[in-house]
């Protein structure tokens, strides 16, 4: 963890590069620092995944509206200021990605962040983390 999941209307697929958006958002997450200047999200645990909605309805359906929902799920332990900094940075990165397209069509973007303070189970198995451990 952290995991950023993007759910979007598939009418965006032909108009934008969702893989590029995923990379930009992952890079944004990796650049976020806390009040002490430390990286907030671990490199090996940072994931950004995008899924087009198989079925959708947006607003009144009178136009080919598009929608992008970003949900960051992370473990507890970060300050409110750090969480806001991360949320603001991710929304800014998503907005920057879609700004050129928003000049041509109507798109809604929502960024939400969830924190899991009371996890019942948090199993992990990865050989990614050791690649980024500082010795």
Residues whose CB falls within 8 Å of the CB of residue 135, separated by 6 or more in sequence, listed in order: none
Position 111 scores a pLDDT of 94
- Spatial distance between the Cα atoms of 16 and 31, rounded to a whole number of angstroms: 23
Alpha-carbon dihedral sign for residues 69, 74, 127, 123: negative
Give 14-65 pLDDT, tens digit per residue: 999 999 999 999 999 999 999 999 999 999 999 999 999 999 999 999 999 9
- Spatial distance between the Cα atoms of 14 and 32, rounded to a whole number of angstroms: 30
pTM for the full predicted model: 0.87
Write out the two tokens for 86: 């991360």
Write out the two tokens for 9: 């209307």
List the domains of the chain with CATH numbers.
Answer: 3-117 (3.30.429.10)
**Separate counts of helices (H) and strands (E) for the chain:** 2, 4
């Amino acid at each position: 963890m952290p995991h950023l999941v993007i759910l979007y209307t598939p009418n965006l697929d032909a108009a934008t590069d969702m893989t590029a958006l995923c990379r930009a958002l992952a890079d944004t997450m990796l650049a976020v620092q806390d009040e002490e200047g430390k990286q907030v999200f671990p490199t090996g645990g940072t994931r950004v995944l995008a899924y087009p909605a198989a079925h959708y309805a947006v607003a009144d359906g009178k136009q080919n509206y598009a929608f992008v929902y970003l949900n960051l799920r992370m473990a507890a332990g970060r300050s409110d200021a750090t969480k806001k900094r991360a949320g603001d940075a991710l929304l800014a990165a998503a907005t920057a990605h879609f700004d050129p397209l928003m000049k041509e069509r109507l798109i809604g973007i929502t960024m939400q962040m969830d924190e899991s303070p009371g996890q019942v189970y948090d199993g992990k198995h990865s050989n990614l983390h050791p690649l980024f451990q500082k010795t």
